[in-house]
Amino acid sequence: MMNTRHHKTYRPWTPDLYRRQAHTPLAKLPEGDLVFFLLDVVPTLDLSSIYAPYEEETRGGPPYDPTLMVCLLLYAYCVGVFSSRKIALACERNLAFLAIVGDERPDFRTISDFRKLHIQAFADVFVAVLRLAKELGMIKLGNLATDGTKIAGNASRHKAMSYGYMLKEIERLREEITALVQQAQGVDDADDAALGSRRGDELPDELQRREQRLATIQAAKERLEEQAKAAAEAERQHRAEQAAERERTGKKRRGKEPGPIQETPDSKAQTNFTDPELKIMPQNNKGWEYSANAQATVDSAHQIILACTVTTASNDKEQAVPMAQATKANLDEVGLTPPVDAAGQPTKIPNCMDTGYYSEKAAAGVEELGFDPHMATERQRHHAPAGTCEPMPAEATAKEKMTAKLRTPEGRALYARRKVIVEPVFGQIKGAWGFRRFLLRGLEKIGGEWNLLCLTHNVLKIWRYHCALSGI
């Protein structure tokens, strides 16, 4: 969709004029270069949500054209340049970046502010790029795969504190504040005797610092207590579901009786002062880091990402249904419908997930949204014998039915493709691009940054597909 006519005055942007001068990008860069593809494609996308904040603004000088800024950010992310300072530096000396900005070269603060201001609007750009992939026939909906990966946040482990240490620190600070107040009162009494009704000094700096630190720790302590209460409620619900399942099947509990549910945080529970929304999570290298769990659902045909979200849950147990909802919403937005069978009836779209996603409730929720869940219920063994196609007995549980489905030849064939559909996407983003830490803070902004990364991944897939069709 072409951008509509805008009434706001922007700085002139004429990349065509600049790139056709002598010793310019058009003369030096190869035909079909990614930067020329972006310069052709980005102006055709619907960027109305990014233009909107500028249209009614009358203060200050003309801003940079949002199409320029979107094109610049997309190209920078495509080539693995994420820092606003490095992007600004490249705009001065890199030929491809110069092809985008021409003589209008934004500084690093402008780039950083633009990214922060419009980070949520990149969800709309994601859909616009998805619509382009659909028009090129790159989305087949024959087999989807959903998975998550941990990406470190912009938060230091050294700016964190455990609940047990908080209690000790609060007590210590209160004692120091009491002593300082008494000391200040003594000084005030002496000043009153010397100055009478005239004004003395302000509150001592040491007392201000301690009161600010006490308030910060108190707020962090309350956050941990709220999280502990929410976790306790979730555990109660989980135990109730397990008890109902045992009563239905007549099976006895395995192992020991679980202990009482704790409403208060564990003394080792931590929170971070830099980005309080993040939680510390285990990493693939066996270490621990304050991270976010980035989720993606990928189509098998050309590894186009159909939906992406970010969560602070370290496991994937509760992410199957939200990811299915996000995927369905995006498919509906771009007008993609499920394949039809021989009778012309729509079929359910296969969606493969590993064992970390499985629960009876999750599988049922995904199926209700129009997908055919293939969720591993246990670790898949190599060279395990295939199951039979015989119908399951009526008394079989949902878990037994899911296990049997994955052992059929069709189920095994679909699930075997899961790793090669979704995991290379994370490898390309984290390995090839080198993106291993979010730049922004706060779950909402991190989610927007993940949108930007995923739509950039799709842009690269579309560009390579375009080059293959054009024989470039």
Q: Binning pLDDT at 50, 70 and 90, where does residue 198 land?
A: very low
| CA proximity to 97, closest of 129, 64, 65, 71 | 71
Pairing relationship of beta strands 371-375 and 144-152 according to DSSP bridges? unpaired
Structural domain range at position 353: 140-155+277-450
Distance (Å, rounded) from C-alpha 74 to C-alpha 466?
A: 17
Q: Are residues 315 and 410 both part of a single domain?
A: yes
Q: Judge if 311 and 429 occupy the same domain.
A: yes
The mean pLDDT value for 134-139 works out to: 93
What local confidence, expressed as pLDDT, does residue 32 receive?
A: 84
The model's pTM: 0.80
Dihedral angle sign, alpha carbons of residues 46, 470, 418, 439: negative
Q: Which of 272, 297, 327 is the last residue of a domain?
A: 272
Residues 346, 378 within the same domain = yes
Last residue of a domain, one of 272, 297, 332: 272
Mark whether 386 and 446 lie in a shared domain. Answer: yes
Domain membership of residue 396 (yes or no) is yes
- Does one domain contain both 55 and 183? no
Contacts of 215 (CB under 8 A, 6+ apart): none
pLDDT tens digits, residue range 138-190?
999 999 999 999 999 888 777 777 777 777 777 777 777 777 777 767 666 66
Among candidates 281, 241, 246, 308, which has minimal Cα distance to 155? Answer: 281
Q: Is the pLDDT of residue 394 over 70?
A: no
Q: Same domain, yes or no, for 39 and 179?
A: no
User: What string of DSSP letters covers 319-372?
Assistant: -HHHHHHHHHHHHHHHT----B-TTSPBPPEEEEE-GGG--HHHHHHHHHTTEE
Q: Domain check: are 328 and 446 in the same one?
A: yes
Tell me: do 88 and 210 sit in the same domain.
no
Mean pLDDT in the chain?
84
- In this structure, are residues 258 and 289 in contact, taking their beta carbons and an 8 Å threshold? no
Tell whether 135 is covered by a domain: no
Distance CA 107, CA 307 (A): 32
β-partners of residue 436 are none
- Range with lowest mean pLDDT among 232-236, 285-289, 309-313, 379-383: 379-383
Helix H or strand E encompassing 120: none
How far apart are alpha carbons 153 and 442 in whole angstroms?
A: 9
Same domain, 91 and 234: no
- Are 216 and 337 within one domain? no
Structural domain total, the chain: 3
| pLDDT of 203 | 52
Tell me the C-alpha distance between 254 and 242, whole Å.
Answer: 11
Q: Which residues pair with 288 in a beta bridge?
A: 282
Q: Is residue 258 part of a domain?
A: yes
Q: What is the mean pLDDT of residues 225-246?
A: 80
CATH at residue 409: 3.30.420
- pLDDT confidence band for 385 (50 / 70 / 90): low
Task: Kindly state whether residues 251 and 346 are assigned to the same domain.
Answer: no
The DSSP bridge pattern shows strands 349-353 and 371-375 to be parallel
Three-class DSSP category at 260: coil
